[in-house]
Chains A and B, each alone.
Chain A
């Protein structure tokens, strides 16, 4: 049901097979299969309600927080089934980090926001280690120079774009293998958006990055692989350049030429 373009074989970090998601009786996602690799940024595009965010949230089991949600199929992280019974969800989420649509820093200091993950996972042996992790994470998120003199200020006092980079720093701080981004720029202005896109380019290769976006231009700018979702199915998957210049499905073509969505 999905049209796959021919791709070079890669080592899949995450491989999903026939993943379906139900909210109560309503099916939100129908048999999605995809491989996600560390070498590429993978973008999920599609109109609202097409299931792209739902699929993203299955990858670190954030759907567990919704009581009525039920997942079928198989998702493997480094070959390990993340939905098997006895899977440690807490460990999983430390390995698969997430950045949300709206920046959601905790109402704590900038330092404490970044130190939150390392503290709960015991990653730092002492204060100096923790300081080093905080600095490294903020540097990687491109926020260090802006906040290094006011680490004790509240994270909620930053601008929207800075808050989102703080959330990225927070996710990076636990040294995840995958970072899921759920429309990370939808609440930001164009300049802050450009800054985040640049950051995604810098993080590519170190982490497997999956980004859900409404903006086709953004998908074209930041990603190397694109999956197009429509009405709960994954319609087409391939190299970003192929999807945008040479779509094989009528629906994909209609969407990227702006006929709907």
Chain B
């Protein structure tokens, strides 16, 4: 970690009050993102990945709320800002890209109108300046004939092209951080790689940090500098992507890696993690992974493990707890 982190999340807890009690979607998560860094966040559906992203950008859907913890952007707390101040940060300092490019653009406005509107919201540019910038951005995200395409409406673009427009919109006033929530999940496999490559190139060129939320380990391996593996609202393991992939420490990460097909070892069957992630209403006591873990000990059912440093990785598993290892 060189210098100060761009974004720091400390002990974040996101709760959803419901009629049947409070659901904790994100439970005591701490992580940081350095300037220009790509942090991958992986996990199954419902692990709390998207919730963490939504909490950072201040767009949790009510009744969801940040129950505890802090979020700091360049050392300044942003989780408790009034709506209007947070609005100025959104788009300007933290951008976002959502899962489905087909529905992320307003069908009634041309892409140019949407770009110009966003640019003018955050800068003092005149309409013609903003339009020129919009055309520039469309060219930058690889849309052919941008002068003409700027007048077109979202339905006149294919899915991949729309996601490029979405990326242009997210990057249009050079935010320092982009939260990309499953940016390629809704796209054809052949287009996914293009979009990821584009996102990676643009962020490198602009020095933009990315929090890349996905359940695709392949995308993470290609793109991310570090990766956080989430399970049932908690971080199971977080560390440099190479280490986590080649030498996973948490039994859940081990299972995840085992379930990815590889060209080199074409023979044996893929392993699979037995069972399913617990629902938020029924998270077991102790380590949340204990019903599916093959390595459980007594302690796993009693106490919840904290993150402990193992080499460059931090992992929350009793098997890696130093006291235990030394015992």
Do chains A and B stick together as partners? no
Binding site for B on A (CB under 8 A): none
